[in-house]
Structure 1
């Protein structure tokens, strides 16, 4: 069984484009949340810098995340990002750790 994934993506808009970036990101919420293997998809904004947004996502597995990136609405926003980003998107891909149960675990890079 594939492991559930948590994604934290930090997105910084160019000054003056933050309202457009915010709207594009808000437009992702409803359709993404209806994807069958999406567990959580939340948009946050930095309280000290309105050009910084964070997506907090939980997916059933890597296949679910891969399928998400194939959705037309995601491709459209990613294309629009090209002119709106002040810097590359910072992405953290995480998986939950549980207390040791005697089974040896390995983490792949």
Structure 2
């Protein structure tokens, strides 16, 4: 069975990198607790102090849609204008290979 992978690249506004990192890390536990979540990890760029990436795997695209409707995600979305420079760079993939 294939799963739905979402990569999100997020650039912090000037002076807000630490706040963005904390906000993203606060999403890990509630996201991982969702039944449809297969994995949810936040990464910090080794080359760019203001760049973060969220790597998440879901059972389906519909499950990801449900994730965005939950209170912890809605609270984060409300903070985006204060924390994030520009648009989120959201890229979606479907796994072709068998799971490890």
Q: Same fold judged by TM-score > 0.5?
A: yes
Counterpart residue number, 1:17? 16
Q: Which of the pair has the greater relative contact order for Cα pairs under 8 Å at 6+ separation?
A: 2
Structure 1 unaligned residues grouped into runs of 5+: 100-109
Q: How does 1:67-106 map to 2 (within 5 A)?
A: 67-98=66-97
CA RMSD, Structure 1 to Structure 2 (Å) = 1.5
Q: Give the alignment's TM-score, normalised by structure 1.
A: 0.84
Give the Cα separation in 1 of the matches to 2:69 and 2:85.
24
Whole-angstrom distance in 2 between the partners of 1:39 and 1:97? 16
C-alpha deviation, 1:62, in angstroms: 1.4
Unaligned runs of 5+ in 2: none
Cα distance in 2 for partners of 1:70, 1:26 equals 18
Larger Rg: 1
